[in-house]
Amino acid sequence: MMARANLTLQLDADVIRKAKIIAATRGTSVSALVARELAALVASEERYQAARGRALQLLDKATARGGRSWTRDQLYEERLRRHDG
């Protein structure tokens, strides 16, 4: 299990009041609600960065092989052809 640490947030009173209602309807605490949402945000960002890194590596590899460059319209047409195909 990862070490836990406290985090202090300052939010508008109305946001806190509404968050308490949401947490209560979900049977959890505001702290747990915020922790879950932040963890999901971080995981999403990590997945995005990993995918971006893989895409950049593929672009570098294509360029290194004497690959060609594409116009935005060509890439869009290719994407449509693959998905509508």
Q: Kindly report the pTM of this predicted structure.
A: 0.61
The per-residue pLDDT for range 70-83, each reduced to its tens digit, is 788 988 888 898 88
Q: What would the pLDDT profile of 34-68 be if each residue is shown by its tens digit? A: 999 999 999 999 999 999 999 989 888 877 777 66
* Of 45, 1, 9, 53, residue with least CA distance to 30: 9
Residues 6+ apart with CB under 8 A from 27: none
